[in-house]
Structure 1
Amino acid sequence: MRPNTRRTTLADIAQAAGVSVATVSKVVNGRVDVAPQTRARVQELLHQHHYLAPVFRHTEVMESATIEVQFRGGLKSYVAETLEGIVDSAAELGASVVLSKSSHAPHWARDLVSAGRRAVIAITSVYSSAHLNELARAGLPLVVLDPLHLPDSRVNSVGATNFAGGLAATQHLLSLGHRRVAYLGGPAMAVCNQARMHGYRAAMEAHGAQVPGAYVRPGEFTYETGLRGATALLELPEPPTAIFAGNDEIALGAIESARARGLRVPEDLSVVGFDDTSLAQMASPPLTTVRQPLREMGAAALRIALQLANGEKTESHHIELATELVVRASTAPPREPTSAREQP
C-alpha cells in the first residue's frame, strides 16, 4: 500500500482496519485493552500508511522532548561517562532520555516516533543508508557521538580532536627520550582510530623515529586487545619501550601484559591511553592519557538533538571538542640510553 499524499488520520486507519477510531487511538497510545489480532492489524496499517502520531506539536516546549540514546556493545566506562553528560544536560534543559542498545528491527524508527521520541543520539553506532532513510521518512533527527565512520551529510555528529590527541600523546613519549614507540589501536577503519594513529605517525615522522610495520596493531577498543597486542609487541626481537594505546582499556591491557612478563611500568615500559575515563585514575600506576571531554561531548550531542527536534538549524554538521594530555605515573624516560642510530 502506497503512503497517502495527505497526512494519514486515525479515521483513515480505522476505516482500513474495520475498527473504531477509539480502538486505533488505544493502539497508538500503547493501551493494553485491545485484542492481540486487532492490535497487530492496526499496527501494520499504521506502518503501511507511514502514520506519525501528532505528538509534541508545541515543539518550543522543551520539557516535552524525549530523546532516545542508543549504544552498541557493553555499558563500559566510556559509554557511562558520555551518558552522564547527556543525562545532566537533559535534566538542566528539562528534557527526558530513554536508553537502549542499538536495534534496527523492521519499522524501528516509526516505532520510536510512536513511542514519543523526538530525536536519536547514537554513541559509536553504525547506521547504513537504509537506516538513515528510515529515520528521514519518520522525521526523526539523528546525532552520532564519536562516529566510527565518516557520517552521512544528513547526520549531525560530535567528536573530539583525535589527531591532535594522538600527536600530543606521541610527542610526550618522544620528549621523554623514547624512540621505539608502538601504537595499539581500535578498529582499523574507525575514523577516530585512524585520526589517533595519524597523529602518532606524524609525531614519529617529525622526530625522525622509525615505525616498523609490527609497531602498529589495530584491534578493538577493549582490554583484551591491549593484552594480546602488547604481548605480541613485547615478543618482538626489538620490542618498543613505549606504547600509545587507542583508549584507556587497551592501555590497561598493555600494562597487565607487561606485568605478566615481569616488566615494570613505567620503569621498563611507558604506556599512554586515550579518553581519561575513571579507569585512568584507578589504574596502577595512574595512567598518563589523552583527555577526551566525554561529558561535554554528551552534553553537546543532547543540545544538538533538541535543536533538531525543534526544527532548528545547526551551525555545523560536525563539531569537535578539544583533547588534552594528562600526565600521570605510567610514563617515564626509557631505562636504557637511546643509541646514536635511533637519534633523530
Structure 2
Amino acid sequence: MSLKIETIKVYHTVSMPDPTLLQSADGVIAIGIHSTAEIDWLREHCRHLVFADFAPPGDEFDSVGSDLRTATRKMLNALNDMGYKRIGFVGWAESADEPYSETRCRAYVEWSREFATFDPSRCITEHSMDRTTEEFGHRLAPRLLSSPELPDAILTSNDNIAVGIYRALHERGLRIPDDIAVASFNDISVAQFLNPPLTTIRLPAEEIGKTAVNLLVERLGGRDLSRHISIANRIIWRRSTHAVQAMKSG
C-alpha cells in the first residue's frame, strides 16, 4: 500500500545540514549511528523522530534495528563449534579513547573473555573516517597478521572491511579458508562473488526501513509511548569458512 508521503533525503558529513529542512518536515527518520551531540541537535529541530539501524540511549525515541551483540555472539559460537579457536577481529572504534567501543567489537571482547581466549593482539580497531571501507580493512590487516600466532579465523565489522582482509591475505599467499577463515556482517551484493564467497550475517535492511516508516506513521497518528524494535538476522554460510554443509544441515 502506498502511503503517498513526500520524502526528502538529507545528508551530513562534518557539519549538520540546514535545520530548516528538518523543521519543515512532519517527521524524520535518522539512519545509522549518531553521537550525543547529533541526537540533541535532532531533538531540537525535529517534530517526530525515529532512529533506524541505531538505538540511542534511553527510551525517549522510537528505534528499529538488528541486535548486533546477539548476532556477533551467534557467529562466534558457530565458528567455535566448527573448530576455530583463535578468532581475530577487525573493526572500527567509535572514539579514539575507547578501542573496543563499537557494539560488535565489544561483543567479541566479552565473548572472548568468557572463553578465556581474549588476546589484544588479535582484536584490531581504529578510529578513522574511512572505517567502513576496503582500504580500512587492508590497512589494519598487517597488525593482525603480525601477531605472535596467526588467527585461524577473522571476523570483521562489515563486508567492505572483509574485502580488504581478503586482499591482504592473498598478498601474503594465505588461503581462505584453509589457512584463515573469514566471516563478516551485512551480506552486500559482492560478498557472494568473492573468491571464495564470503560467509556473512545478513542484516535486514529492507525490514528495518519499512518498520521505521511504520513507526513514524504511528507517531504522526498520535502514539505517545516510544517503541524499540529489534529484527532478527541470519548467517549466510559460504565457502570462506569450513564445514559449510554441516552448518547448513544443522
Which of the five TM-score ranges fits, normalised by the shorter chain? 0.7 to 0.9
Q: Structure 1: which amino acid aligns with 2:124?
A: R
Q: Structure 1: which amino acid aligns with 2:117?
A: Q
Q: Which has the higher contact order (CA 8 A, sep 6+)?
A: 2
- TM-score of the two chains, using structure 1 as the length reference: 0.61
How many residue pairs end up in the alignment? 232
Shift of 1:196: 2.0
Tell me how far apart the structure 1 counterparts of residues 11 and 56 of structure 2 sit (CA, whole Å). Answer: 21
Which of 227, 234, 238 is 1:324 aligned to?
234
2:248 corresponds in structure 1 to none
From the superposition, tell whether residues 328 and 92 of structure 1 become closer, same or farther in structure 2 (CA, over 3 Å). Answer: farther
Q: Structure 1: which amino acid aligns with 2:91?
A: G
Which of 217, 220, 237 is 1:306 aligned to?
217
Tell me how far apart the structure 1 counterparts of residues 172 and 124 of structure 2 sit (CA, whole Å). Answer: 19
2:26 corresponds in structure 1 to 118
Tell me how far apart the structure 1 counterparts of residues 109 and 197 of structure 2 sit (CA, whole Å). Answer: 25
CA contact (8 A) 1:187 1:221 kept: no
1:170 corresponds in structure 2 to 76
Question: Is residue 93 of structure 2 the alignment partner of residue 93 of structure 1?
Answer: no
Q: Structure 1: which amino acid aligns with 2:119?
A: P
Structure 2 matches for 1:187-336, cutoff 5 A?
187-188=93-94, 194-206=102-114, 208-219=115-126, 220-313=131-224, 316=227, 318-332=228-242
Tell me how far apart the structure 2 counterparts of residues 229 and 260 of structure 1 sit (CA, whole Å). Answer: 14
Question: Is residue 94 of structure 2 the alignment partner of residue 181 of structure 1?
Answer: no
SS in 1 for 2:60: coil
Tell me how far apart the structure 2 counterparts of residues 135 and 152 of structure 1 sit (CA, whole Å). Answer: 19
From the superposition, tell whether residues 247 and 266 of structure 1 become closer, same or farther in structure 2 (CA, over 3 Å). Answer: same
- 5+ residue gaps in structure 2? 244-250
CA contact (8 A) 1:274 1:289 kept: yes
From the superposition, tell whether residues 186 and 92 of structure 1 become closer, same or farther in structure 2 (CA, over 3 Å). Answer: farther
Shift of 1:283: 2.2
CA contact (8 A) 1:247 1:273 kept: yes
SS in 2 for 1:122: strand
1:18 corresponds in structure 2 to none
Tell me how far apart the structure 1 counterparts of residues 94 and 27 of structure 2 sit (CA, whole Å). Answer: 30
SS in 2 for 1:311: coil
CA contact (8 A) 2:23 2:45 kept: no
| Superposition CA RMSD, Å | 2.6
CA contact (8 A) 2:124 2:143 kept: no
- TM-score of the two chains, using structure 2 as the length reference: 0.82
Which of 104, 108, 117 is 2:16 aligned to?
104
Higher helix fraction: Structure 1 or Structure 2?
1
Q: Structure 2: which amino acid aligns with 1:197?
A: C
Q: Structure 2: which amino acid aligns with 1:97?
A: T
CA contact (8 A) 2:157 2:185 kept: yes
Q: Identity rate of aligned residues, in percent?
A: 30
From the superposition, tell whether residues 193 and 324 of structure 1 become closer, same or farther in structure 2 (CA, over 3 Å). Answer: farther
2:60 corresponds in structure 1 to 154
